Structure 1
Amino acid sequence: MSAKIIHKTVNLKASPERVWQVLLESPYIEEWYAEFGEDLKVETDWSPGSKYRVVDKNGFGMIGKIAENVPMKTLSIEPEGMVKDHKDDFESAEAKQLKGNRETYWLSETAEGTKLDIESACSEEYAGMMADMWDKALVTIKKLAEK
């Protein structure tokens, strides 16, 4: 698979602690994840090396692991496969395309609050759609963090 890297940045008038809360905690994460799909639920404890699953109400989604978690600084997720009909799939061609990608969030404190940078890899064919979804997700993250 030829991966396309999406980079996005947003400046938030909120502390790194608040932005971190919005990125990782319920009910915030479900609200901004909704920009990627309806009724997505996240299953993880966010500790490095732990399992990460994001699944919709129909049992479809992604499975991976938490590669890095430095609170209020860096979060990195490595996809390892798909979830289909509530079952983990690491072997299909579609699942194998996800391996080797990474989704990373960097927070840095600024005079006005926090700068959030994201980097997300996806296939070339979905890059435009994913970039649009990230734009919407960052608007939602900003709204939630600045409440």
Structure 2
Amino acid sequence: MQKLFFEIQIDAPPEKVWDVLWSDITYRQWTTAFTEGSFYLGSFEEGSIIKFFDPNNNGMYSRIEKNIPHKEMKFLHLGEIYDGVEQEQAWGEATEAYILQETETGTILKIEINTPEEFQSFFEEKFPTALGIVKNLSENQL
């Protein structure tokens, strides 16, 4: 497993950043950095399963390990989805956490990822772009 860390300062309150991250419309916008047409199905309720898809009905499914509104969202990735069919993966503790820290001028958004090595370069390439989109949406949307 590889531990990856990303961070960005956003001049908007944590509530706004949170809404940009997890509201359906803005989620679809910032995740274009990973795959155009990305979306999710399910609930962000702690303990529930959420599914992340691309437009071809492929993606992954995860359990919500932690949901502290406006502060932290953590996923445990369980498996992949191909043509709508779930396939469990032996990823162990493959996690992805979004941590929002309020500052005097806004929010520091921190991403902590525990990932199998084969996904490391993908995340290192795509996450900075995704965070730039989150920043832009958070600072410029009404």
TM tier, shorter chain? over 0.9
Query: The residue matched to 2:137 in structure 1 has which SS?
Result: helix
TM-score (norm 1): 0.91
1:105 is the counterpart of 2:98:
yes
Query: The residue matched to 1:146 in structure 2 has which SS?
Result: helix
**Counterpart in 2 of 1:12?**
10
Q: Is the 8 A contact 2:72 2:99 kept in 1?
A: yes
Query: The residue matched to 1:96 in structure 2 has which SS?
Result: coil
How far 1:38 moved relative to its partner?
1.9
**Counterpart in 2 of 1:136?**
129
Paired amino acid for 2:60 = M
State how many pairs are aligned: 140
Paired amino acid for 2:64 = I
In structure 1, how many angstroms separate the alpha carbons of the residues matched to 2:107 and 2:62?
Answer: 27
In structure 2, how many angstroms separate the alpha carbons of the residues matched to 1:109 and 1:131?
Answer: 25
Q: Show structure 2 runs of 5+ residues with no match.
A: none
Query: The residue matched to 2:76 in structure 1 has which SS?
Result: strand
How far 1:33 moved relative to its partner?
1.0
What's the Cα RMSD here?
A: 1.0
Q: Show structure 1 runs of 5+ residues with no match.
A: none
Structure 1 residue runs of 4+, over 3 Å off? none
Matches within 5 A, 1:84-123: 84-90=82-88, 95-97=89-91, 99-123=92-116
In structure 1, how many angstroms separate the alpha carbons of the residues matched to 2:41 and 2:16?
Answer: 21
How far 1:37 moved relative to its partner?
1.0
Matches within 5 A, 1:56-71: 56-71=54-69
1:89-131 deviation line (CA, Å, top 9, x unaligned): 11xxxx223x421000111110110111001122223312211
**Counterpart in 2 of 1:126?**
119
In structure 2, how many angstroms separate the alpha carbons of the residues matched to 1:76 and 1:111?
Answer: 25
Query: The residue matched to 1:130 in structure 2 has which SS?
Result: helix
Identity of aligned residues (%): 28
TM-score (norm 2): 0.94
